[in-house]
Structure 1
Amino acid sequence: MLLRSVLLPITATTRRDLVERLAQLILGLALYGIALGFMVRGGIGVAPWDVLALGVAGRSSLGYGTVTVLVSIVVLLLWIPLRQRVGLGTVLNALLVGPSADLTLLVLPAPSNVWIGAPMFVFGLVLLAFATGLYIAADFGPGPRDGLMTGLVRVTGWRVWIVRTLIEGSVLLVGFLLGGPVGVGTVLFAFGVGPLIGWFLPRITRLREERSRQLVAARAQ
């Protein structure tokens, strides 16, 4: 009973549907980490949570990816008083994105100038939005940060934009004070990620739903 109250159930129309959605989830999280690596290498600023992660990494002996994982775990601990339910996607998000980003930073060289770095950041931003659409459409539960936001919205009754602004504004301020990189890329992320996800997510969701219907129809024949 306790596990049922904490864990989101895993549902699927067919076994193949489950396998394909799992593959989509893992691919989306891997691409998300790769996107973060490109944005960090771009050198023109990063998203608020990454300002925090890089600020902590710069003040410690820990790598960026390791700090990203640790921050995700701390955020998940904040779910407990909010009584948020954890999905498989939530756990894999916390564990896979950081190592994927670290691996990308290991093999991706730093750009020689901003004319190379800026397109790298933009590519990373677009890839991140696509990756977000993939793992959300797989429907295995929200990421740690998204779950924190929705939990606070439910508990406080405040509007989503207010809660999101307060969370990311606080994270950005702490990260900046720790020495995390804030720049043009931070502004681009703030204004660009929402519309990009808004473009990718419904299209990926429709494709996923159509694929599920095809699998059900094929099984019924």
Structure 2
Amino acid sequence: MTQSYPYRYAQLLIGLFLYGIGIALIVRGEIGVAPWDVLTQGIDNHTGWGFGLITIITSAVVLLLWIPIRQKPGIGTILNAILVGLAADVGLWLVPTGQGLPLRIAFFAVGLLVLAVATGLYIGAHFGPGPRDGLMTGLHRRTGWKIWIVRTGLEGVVLLIGWALGGNVGVGTVLFAVLIGPMVNITMPLFAIKRPASAQKPLPTRDASEMATQA
């Protein structure tokens, strides 16, 4: 069913808010986080700027990297860069730290589910990819490299830098890498909003799992 702009904007905003909450739950799980969040934690260890602010700054830096690859942001891209970090800080404020292992595992599991649903919501609203997704697909388009190679390279670099800075790499990092792709392969079609044919643009050839990087 084709939906109006207000409906799509509402879905976008809900998705971005939930994405930040999902990140916060995974962080509070304390068993390992996604590669980009490992980098965020590592930078925070050395600056004390706070998880949300660093997420926003990192998004801004990534958007600057869009310029040489001629990638154009949408309104969803800009809102993603601002709102996910703010929502993550809200989640980190709400969710307690230092819990026992069973509760931390539950935090991680719920966070992964929330993040998968959020990904389907914000991408399904069709207002542009997140900064990191756009960098990945832009490099794929400009270089001709397979998108999984670009994704693995980008996430490998930020993971190593974050780990060297003291970010939390653990079993959760591995579980995130293994599970998030299949999960968003379900949520993205589920929440995709049908647009009028005149408003649709061709998408790069890739499946949903290849869009399942950090927002």
Do Structure 1 and Structure 2 share a fold, with TM-score over 0.5? yes
Q: Which runs of 4+ in 1 moved over 3 A?
A: none
- Counterpart of 2:107 in structure 1 is 120
Q: Does 2:178 match 1:191?
A: yes
Q: CA offsets per residue over residues 149-168 of structure 1, 9 Å max, x none? A: 01100111000100000000
Distance across 1 between alignment mates of 2:93 and 2:106: 19
- Amino acid of the structure 2 residue aligned with 1:20: Y
Determine which of 131, 134, 139 is the counterpart of 1:144.
Answer: 131
The CA RMSD over aligned residues, in Å, is 1.2
Determine which of 132, 137, 143 is the counterpart of 1:156.
Answer: 143
Q: CA offsets per residue over residues 5-56 of structure 1, 9 Å max, x none? A: xxxxxxxx7xx70011001000000000000010000010000000000100
Distance across 1 between alignment mates of 2:153 and 2:173: 16
- Counterpart of 2:152 in structure 1 is 165
Determine which of 91, 96, 108 is the counterpart of 1:109.
Answer: 96
Shift of residue 198, structure 1, vs aligned partner: 0.3
Determine which of 201, 207, 221 is the counterpart of 2:188.
Answer: 201
- Amino acid of the structure 2 residue aligned with 1:170: V
- Amino acid of the structure 2 residue aligned with 1:31: L
Distance across 1 between alignment mates of 2:161 and 2:100: 28
- Counterpart of 1:182 in structure 2 is 169
Q: Does 2:58 match 1:71?
A: yes
- Amino acid of the structure 2 residue aligned with 1:55: G
Distance across 1 between alignment mates of 2:184 and 2:94: 27
Aligned pairs (5 A) from 1:25-64:
25-64=12-51
Q: CA offsets per residue over residues 161-191 of structure 1, 9 Å max, x none? A: 0000000000100000000000010000000
- Structure with the higher helix share, 1 or 2: 1
Aligned pairs (5 A) from 1:14-29:
17-29=4-16
Percent same amino acid at aligned positions? 54
Shift of residue 196, structure 1, vs aligned partner: 0.3
Gaps of 5+ in 1: 1-12, 214-221
Q: Secondary structure at the match of 1:196?
A: helix
- Counterpart of 2:122 in structure 1 is 135
Distance across 2 between alignment mates of 1:148 and 1:55: 21
Distance across 1 between alignment mates of 2:166 and 2:58: 16
Question: TM-score w.r.t. structure 1 length?
Answer: 0.86
Distance across 2 between alignment mates of 1:86 and 1:38: 28
Distance across 1 between alignment mates of 2:98 and 2:44: 21
Shift of residue 111, structure 1, vs aligned partner: 4.6
Q: How many residue pairs were aligned?
A: 195
- Amino acid of the structure 2 residue aligned with 1:57: D
Shift of residue 112, structure 1, vs aligned partner: 2.1
